[in-house]
Amino acid sequence: MRIAIYARVSTQDQQTLPLQIEAMRKYVESRNWTIVQEVQDIRSGVSERKNRELLLKLARRKEIDAIVVWRLDRWGRSLADLILSLKELSELEVGFVSLTEAIDLRTPTGRALAGMLSVFAEFEREILRQRVKAGISQARKKGGNHERPRTAAQHAYTVKKVAEQGVPKAEIARRLEISRASVMRMLSI
Protein backbone atom coordinates (compact mmCIF):
# COMPACT_ATOMS: atom_id res chain seq x y z
CA MET A 1 0.00 0.00 0.00
CA ARG A 2 1.13 3.53 -0.79
CA ILE A 3 0.92 5.56 2.39
CA ALA A 4 1.09 9.25 3.21
CA ILE A 5 1.81 10.20 6.79
CA TYR A 6 0.67 13.51 8.21
CA ALA A 7 2.11 15.09 11.35
CA ARG A 8 1.00 18.44 12.74
CA VAL A 9 1.94 20.46 15.76
CA SER A 10 0.85 23.87 16.87
CA THR A 11 3.61 26.28 17.70
CA GLN A 12 3.07 25.52 21.40
CA ASP A 13 3.77 21.76 21.28
CA GLN A 14 6.49 21.34 18.67
CA GLN A 15 8.25 18.75 20.83
CA THR A 16 5.74 16.05 19.79
CA LEU A 17 6.60 16.21 16.08
CA PRO A 18 9.44 13.63 16.22
CA LEU A 19 7.27 11.40 18.42
CA GLN A 20 4.41 11.49 15.89
CA ILE A 21 6.66 10.77 12.92
CA GLU A 22 8.49 7.91 14.62
CA ALA A 23 5.23 6.23 15.71
CA MET A 24 3.72 6.50 12.22
CA ARG A 25 6.85 5.21 10.49
CA LYS A 26 6.97 2.18 12.82
CA TYR A 27 3.29 1.46 12.20
CA VAL A 28 3.69 1.64 8.42
CA GLU A 29 6.90 -0.43 8.43
CA SER A 30 5.30 -3.13 10.62
CA ARG A 31 2.69 -3.67 7.90
CA ASN A 32 5.20 -3.63 5.03
CA TRP A 33 3.53 -0.60 3.50
CA THR A 34 5.45 2.07 1.62
CA ILE A 35 5.58 5.72 2.64
CA VAL A 36 5.30 7.74 -0.56
CA GLN A 37 4.68 11.11 1.09
CA GLU A 38 5.55 12.47 4.51
CA VAL A 39 3.98 15.79 5.42
CA GLN A 40 4.49 18.02 8.43
CA ASP A 41 2.56 21.15 9.40
CA ILE A 42 3.51 23.54 12.17
CA ARG A 43 0.35 25.62 12.60
CA SER A 44 -2.62 25.93 14.87
CA GLY A 45 -5.67 23.84 13.97
CA VAL A 46 -7.75 26.74 12.77
CA SER A 47 -5.45 28.11 10.13
CA GLU A 48 -5.22 26.92 6.55
CA ARG A 49 -2.93 23.94 6.16
CA LYS A 50 -1.57 23.68 2.63
CA ASN A 51 0.34 20.49 3.36
CA ARG A 52 -2.86 18.71 4.37
CA GLU A 53 -4.42 19.94 1.12
CA LEU A 54 -1.48 18.39 -0.73
CA LEU A 55 -2.44 15.00 0.71
CA LEU A 56 -6.06 15.45 -0.29
CA LYS A 57 -4.91 16.25 -3.84
CA LEU A 58 -2.81 13.09 -3.88
CA ALA A 59 -5.86 11.13 -2.72
CA ARG A 60 -8.02 12.66 -5.46
CA ARG A 61 -5.40 11.69 -8.06
CA LYS A 62 -5.27 8.13 -6.64
CA GLU A 63 -1.56 8.47 -5.87
CA ILE A 64 -1.96 7.15 -2.31
CA ASP A 65 -3.96 4.31 -0.81
CA ALA A 66 -4.19 5.58 2.77
CA ILE A 67 -3.29 8.44 5.10
CA VAL A 68 -1.86 7.73 8.55
CA VAL A 69 -2.04 10.30 11.36
CA TRP A 70 -0.95 10.18 14.98
CA ARG A 71 -4.25 11.53 16.38
CA LEU A 72 -7.55 12.69 14.90
CA ASP A 73 -7.09 16.21 16.24
CA ARG A 74 -3.89 16.49 14.21
CA TRP A 75 -5.93 16.03 11.00
CA GLY A 76 -9.22 17.87 11.60
CA ARG A 77 -9.62 21.55 12.45
CA SER A 78 -13.03 20.85 13.95
CA LEU A 79 -15.39 17.92 14.20
CA ALA A 80 -17.27 19.09 11.11
CA ASP A 81 -14.02 19.50 9.13
CA LEU A 82 -12.88 16.06 10.27
CA ILE A 83 -16.12 14.43 9.15
CA LEU A 84 -16.13 16.16 5.75
CA SER A 85 -12.54 15.20 4.99
CA LEU A 86 -13.04 11.61 6.17
CA LYS A 87 -16.17 11.33 4.05
CA GLU A 88 -14.27 12.57 1.01
CA LEU A 89 -11.47 10.08 1.62
CA SER A 90 -14.01 7.29 1.99
CA GLU A 91 -15.68 8.23 -1.29
CA LEU A 92 -12.25 8.24 -2.95
CA GLU A 93 -11.61 4.79 -1.43
CA VAL A 94 -8.54 6.10 0.35
CA GLY A 95 -7.99 4.62 3.80
CA PHE A 96 -7.44 6.68 6.93
CA VAL A 97 -5.68 5.44 10.06
CA SER A 98 -5.37 7.28 13.37
CA LEU A 99 -2.86 5.57 15.62
CA THR A 100 -3.74 6.96 19.05
CA GLU A 101 -7.47 6.29 18.73
CA ALA A 102 -6.86 2.97 16.92
CA ILE A 103 -9.21 3.98 14.10
CA ASP A 104 -8.85 2.40 10.68
CA LEU A 105 -11.55 3.55 8.28
CA ARG A 106 -10.70 0.68 5.96
CA THR A 107 -12.47 -1.68 8.40
CA PRO A 108 -16.21 -2.05 9.11
CA THR A 109 -15.65 -0.97 12.72
CA GLY A 110 -13.76 2.12 11.60
CA ARG A 111 -16.51 3.07 9.16
CA ALA A 112 -19.13 2.62 11.90
CA LEU A 113 -17.13 4.92 14.17
CA ALA A 114 -16.93 7.51 11.38
CA GLY A 115 -20.73 7.32 11.12
CA MET A 116 -21.07 8.00 14.84
CA LEU A 117 -18.67 10.93 14.54
CA SER A 118 -20.86 12.42 11.81
CA VAL A 119 -23.89 12.21 14.12
CA PHE A 120 -21.95 14.15 16.77
CA ALA A 121 -20.83 16.70 14.18
CA GLU A 122 -24.45 17.32 13.16
CA PHE A 123 -25.39 17.64 16.85
CA GLU A 124 -22.58 20.19 17.34
CA ARG A 125 -23.80 22.23 14.33
CA GLU A 126 -27.38 22.21 15.62
CA ILE A 127 -26.33 23.35 19.11
CA LEU A 128 -24.32 26.18 17.55
CA ARG A 129 -27.30 27.21 15.38
CA GLN A 130 -29.53 27.33 18.45
CA ARG A 131 -27.03 29.44 20.38
CA VAL A 132 -26.74 31.92 17.51
CA LYS A 133 -30.53 32.21 17.20
CA ALA A 134 -30.86 32.72 20.96
CA GLY A 135 -28.18 35.41 20.92
CA ILE A 136 -29.85 37.26 18.04
CA SER A 137 -33.21 37.04 19.78
CA GLN A 138 -31.75 38.42 23.00
CA ALA A 139 -30.03 41.28 21.14
CA ARG A 140 -33.31 42.19 19.42
CA LYS A 141 -35.16 42.22 22.74
CA LYS A 142 -32.62 44.67 24.11
CA GLY A 143 -32.88 46.74 20.95
CA GLY A 144 -29.21 46.23 20.23
CA ASN A 145 -27.33 45.47 17.07
CA HIS A 146 -26.86 41.75 16.47
CA GLU A 147 -24.40 42.10 13.61
CA ARG A 148 -20.77 41.13 13.77
CA PRO A 149 -18.72 44.06 15.10
CA ARG A 150 -16.91 46.02 12.44
CA THR A 151 -13.23 45.48 13.04
CA ALA A 152 -12.12 47.79 10.24
CA ALA A 153 -13.73 50.74 12.06
CA GLN A 154 -10.76 50.90 14.42
CA HIS A 155 -8.73 52.20 11.46
CA ALA A 156 -11.08 55.12 10.67
CA TYR A 157 -8.74 57.86 11.93
CA THR A 158 -5.74 56.40 10.09
CA VAL A 159 -7.76 55.94 6.89
CA LYS A 160 -8.79 59.60 6.88
CA LYS A 161 -5.27 60.87 7.64
CA VAL A 162 -3.65 58.72 4.93
CA ALA A 163 -6.36 59.67 2.41
CA GLU A 164 -5.65 63.35 3.08
CA GLN A 165 -2.09 62.69 1.87
CA GLY A 166 -3.48 61.63 -1.51
CA VAL A 167 -2.90 57.88 -1.12
CA PRO A 168 -5.33 55.87 -3.31
CA LYS A 169 -8.09 53.92 -1.58
CA ALA A 170 -6.82 50.56 -2.81
CA GLU A 171 -3.36 51.30 -1.39
CA ILE A 172 -4.84 52.34 1.97
CA ALA A 173 -6.76 49.06 2.08
CA ARG A 174 -3.61 47.07 1.30
CA ARG A 175 -1.52 48.87 3.92
CA LEU A 176 -4.10 48.44 6.67
CA GLU A 177 -5.18 44.97 5.52
CA ILE A 178 -8.85 45.92 5.30
CA SER A 179 -11.24 45.89 2.37
CA ARG A 180 -11.48 48.74 -0.13
CA ALA A 181 -15.20 48.89 0.65
CA SER A 182 -14.36 49.59 4.31
CA VAL A 183 -12.01 52.38 3.27
CA MET A 184 -14.69 53.91 1.04
CA ARG A 185 -17.28 53.63 3.83
CA MET A 186 -15.00 55.39 6.34
CA LEU A 187 -14.20 58.19 3.92
CA SER A 188 -17.88 58.81 3.20
CA ILE A 189 -18.71 59.41 6.88
Annotated catalytic residues are 10
Amino acid identity at 121: A
User: Could you tell me which residues are beta bridge partners of residue 38?
Assistant: 5
Q: Which is nearest to 120 in space by CA: 85, 69, 78?
A: 78
Contact predicate 43/49, CB 8 Å: yes
Distance CA 143, CA 127 (A): 24
Q: What is the Cα–Cα distance from 27 to 30, expressed in whole angstroms?
A: 5
